[in-house]
Structure 1
Amino acid sequence: MAHVVGLSEKRQADAALIVTEAATNILKYAGQGEITLANRDVDGVQVLEIIALDRGPGIANLTSALADGFSTGGSLGAGLGTIRRHASLFDIYSIAGSGTALLARIANPPNVPNTANAANASNPSTTPDAGAESFQVGVKSTRKFGQEVCGDAWGVRRVGPNLWVTLLDGLGHGPMAAEASNRAVGVFLEADPADQPADVLRRAHQGIKDTRGAVMAVAMFDRASRTMSFAGVGNIVGIVASAEETQHLISTDGTVGYNMRAVRPREASWTKGSVFIATTDGLSTRWNLTRHPGLVQRHPSLIASVLHRDFARDADDATIIVVKAA
């Protein structure tokens, strides 16, 4: 995967080292867990994203654990420090007794062109997550146990300085649900840049009428006005969390493509540190942030992975998308 994304041989070796260290830690301290890898486009830069999750005893003192030479398992104590040094972006979340989640992204340094995309060589001035991103996005999506495809879908689109996201859950499961949700994502990606979220929902309603339909939410993040506009149809759950409050975003009853009532748009303030979270009903409706102190301070990929780990159900497609104002 590191080769496909265009990483140099050195960065490919870094990827192998990071995965080895993360897997070793899971086996040694948690007994079992999972590591997921994904190729991501971060503001035009291709990166390899590695996320390691477990439900083990957690780390009581992260500061000490990140220092070289610290170990509770009789090893050299270089694992977490090694991962952090070899990653372009590193983040970790752990609570004693509640498991650990680790994020590492790997990209070529600014002066090394991405071999999978020569266009990146003409713009080597930024590295992923080095402060140039105005928005950070994280997604975690899984299909229902036993299904070959996921009936959920999501999309991200940049329009000038603003960011648009959508999240869908096709009715039912399997290929027909996936067709409905993926076609609606296509409508979202081709929508008029002047549209509002409610307009996109109405366009999608017309565009997928010959499918079984889907529940859908659309959010637009406006940097200039520092607002987030939201519109949803069906049971997509959405919130905007900040240091001051958590605002719940209510969707309209109905089904896009089948029976859609008048859409009621919502707005919320969007300032540095604000976090938008939206989930399909594959995550328990009881999900909340109270069990995870400090989680909203972490990278969106970690937020999404931790909440999915703790609240997703195998009996349904389950997707969560997180956007953070950088």
Structure 2
Amino acid sequence: MRVEDQSAVAAARRRATGLAEQLGFTGERLGRVQLAVTEAATNLVKHAVRGEMLVRVSRRGGDAAIEFVCFDRGPGIADVPGARLDGYSTSGTLGVGLGAIERIADASGLYSASEAGTVLFARFHQPDGAATVTDPPFAGLTRPIEGEEECGDAYAARLHEGTVYAMVCDGLGHGPLAARAAQEAVRVMREAVLPAAPADLLRQVHDRLGSTRGGAVAVAAVQPSAGTVRFAGLGNVAGWVLGGDRRRGMISVPGIAGAGRRPLREHVYDLPPGGAVVMHSDGLTDKWDGASLPALDRDPLLVSAELMRGAGVRHDDRCVLTVTTSGRR
């Protein structure tokens, strides 16, 4: 939702409240979600240019959380560490918002690029599992093209015996039919027997998408213990290995998953210690600089959010998935 005037603050709070109540949030814990969303949305109204907020339920197996992500294309925050302290303000207000969000959320992150914009996220786990849940080393975001309610891009990721199996599907076109193809690919990943080779998983997706309009699909197996990424792609979903000061593109073959028959190739790439893997649809331009992203030991949702903000400039459905390999701070 756009957050550009005071009325949008109340709308964001109502939407977050409804989702949180569905997950069983009540009392003080519901109040924390409401406070965090209110503070973040108010910050967008006061300081942002083209401020937007995503509020969603994120499910991982039997666990669920409510998350919000803020994006803007404003001037950025000159002093990010200072902005996280209570009392910091550039507009004469009390300046308690960002510090309060960090204290009351189960996880949060802030990243700002000068003269480009800022991203902020916060996560609140379901009350019954908040103390025991460990967030996985992956996170993604999707956004439909303007004018559509359903996104034709989708992602799935599963952690199995230390390996993350990650998939991104860009359903052909936009709207419900593209979304049906993408969600069918997600179902294949959920049902797949692991361990499995990415080429085999891609073949399963290809076979299942024959009853849909099809799409571009890529599958990766990220194995930090072996220092490798195995990758298989069909169509124009981009895959990148990040590490140190460089990024390396991974190879997909031309084609459409669900249409025709062609050999599917799997490639193996080195995964630097503490590196990351990013996969995204062509709703994001590939002309982004890995050095401008948040540090790779930050939460993967923060990395995905900055990519969506900075590289998600095309008029298209958008999807980005980040898999990190190092401990977080």
Structure 2 length-normalised TM: 0.85
The residue aligned with 1:62 is 80
The residue aligned with 1:23 is 41
The residue aligned with 1:97 is 115
**Which of the two has greater helix per residue?**
2
In 2: Cα distance, 1:312 partner to 1:230 partner: 23
Match of 2:102 among 84, 91, 106: 84
CA contact (8 A) 2:49 2:73 kept: no
The residue aligned with 2:288 is 287
CA contact (8 A) 2:139 2:301 kept: yes
Distance 1:257 1:59, change over 3 A: same
Residue 93 (structure 2) pairs with residue 75 (structure 1):
yes
Distance 1:273 1:224, change over 3 A: closer
Distance 1:66 1:205, change over 3 A: closer
The residue aligned with 1:303 is 303
The residue aligned with 2:132 is 126
Question: What displacement does 1:125 show?
Answer: 6.1
Percentage of matched positions with identical amino acids: 35
Which amino acid is 1:62 matched to? V
In 2: Cα distance, 1:125 partner to 1:71 partner: 32
Post-superposition CA distance 1:186-220 (Å, at most 9, x none): 22322232420001112222222232221100111
CA contact (8 A) 1:187 1:203 kept: yes
Question: What displacement does 1:97 show?
Answer: 1.5
Question: What displacement does 1:271 show?
Answer: 5.7
Q: CA RMSD in A?
A: 2.3
Runs of 4+ in 1 over 6 A off after TM superposition: none
The residue aligned with 1:173 is 174
Residue 249 (structure 2) pairs with residue 243 (structure 1):
no
How many correspondences in the alignment? Answer: 308
Distance 1:79 1:149, change over 3 A: closer
1:118-197 matches, within 5 Å, as 120=129, 126-129=132-135, 135-197=136-198
1:209 aligned counterpart, secondary structure: helix
Distance 1:240 1:260, change over 3 A: farther
In 2: Cα distance, 1:188 partner to 1:25 partner: 38
Question: What displacement does 1:158 show?
Answer: 3.1
CA contact (8 A) 1:35 1:50 kept: yes
Which amino acid is 2:246 matched to? E
Question: What displacement does 1:32 show?
Answer: 4.3
Mean CA deviation greater in 17-26 or 239-248? 239-248
Distance 1:283 1:223, change over 3 A: closer
Structure 1 length-normalised TM: 0.86
Q: Which runs of 5+ in 2 are unaligned?
A: 1-18
1:148 aligned counterpart, secondary structure: coil
Q: Which runs of 5+ in 1 are unaligned?
A: 115-119, 130-134
